[in-house]
Amino acid sequence: MQSFLNGASGKSTGLSGASEEGLGAPPRTCQRARSRPPEGAFGPLWTPPGSAIDLPDGPLKLVGQHRRAYLLLNVVFYGLVALGTVYSLANPLLQRELTQAIVQGFQAPPLSFAKDAYASGNVPAAALVTFLVNTLLGSLTSITIPSLLIPFAGIAIGIYRALFWGLALAPTSPELARAMLPHSLTLILEGQGYVLAMFGAYLLWASAIAGARRGLSGFLRGYRSGLSANITIYLGVVIVLGVAAVYEAFEVIYLVAR
């Protein structure tokens, strides 16, 4: 996203199976009620692996198990991009101030490496730098690592980023409107990588909260399970951001900057 602004500005501006020993074993229906996962705003906070859609273990299986949460995160993220765009169209002065701040940020590492890669016209180099910046800084450092300590922090950061994108990239001029035609696909792909990282933050703490109902040991088991799910989701994050980086490098060098 930031590299696009440089190009555009250059052109225009189970139940565990416990034994039923002793008297008065609880009825089976009671056991099922107790094992039901807690309900959250997105439905069940945590669905044990293997209890939903029969897919191979991986990001798609987790998305299928928690599709309501995943869909809601998509609606929130892209909806805020649209909301920021509408606001910026009504207040274009704010966009100019944001663009100046972004351009200044590219004067120092690590973003200056991206600027130099795009200026060279080397698509593979630009794609590699974009992928590393988006994966290590945009996703891992900004969304995932804060979420390891602060519940759902990555979701809040992703929401802020979506609104910022809308404000900074609104087509407030004819030149920027033309540039946004090919760049819209970059926003969709790169945004999806960040939505998946936000989804991983959700899985982490949804699992921990569900386990906390059984005390500290349950919380720790739930946290480990959620962390494992978060790591699994990162396969999807890496793939999506890799595709986005290749397209963005080609798009900015061959379509936007010319």
pLDDT along the chain (258 residues), means of 10: 55 39 44 44 46 60 94 98 96 88 80 86 94 96 96 96 95 90 94 97 95 91 94 96 96 82
CA distance between the termini of the chain: 17
- Give the global pTM: 0.78
* pLDDT value for 106: 80
Question: Position 237: which residue type?
Answer: V
Q: Is residue 8 part of a domain?
A: no
Q: How far is 218 from 209, CA to CA, in rounded Å?
A: 9
Around Cβ 11, how many Cβ atoms within 10 Å?
14
pLDDT computed for residue 128 by the predictor: 96
Give how far the C-alpha of residue 122 lies from the chain's centroid of Cα atoms, to the nearest Å: 27
Query: Looking at the domain assignment, is residue 41 inside a domain?
Result: no
Is the residue at 252 inside a domain? yes
In whole angstroms, give the CA distance from residue 187 to residue 190.
Answer: 5
Instruction: Please indicate, yes or no, if residue 18 is contained in any of the structural domains.
Output: no
Residue with tokens 């040991």: 217
At 1 the pLDDT is 60
Domain assignment present for residue 43? The answer is: no
Q: Give the model's pLDDT for residue 83.
A: 97
Q: For residue 157, what are the domain limits?
A: 52-256
Residue 99 falls inside a structural domain: yes
The pLDDT score that the predictor gives to residue 7 is 54
Using CA of residue 45, residue 50, residue 52, residue 55, what is the dihedral sign?
positive
Identify the CA nearest to 66 among candidates 83, 82, 45, 81: 45
How many Å separate Cα 156 from the centre of its chain? 11
- Give the count of domains, the chain: 1
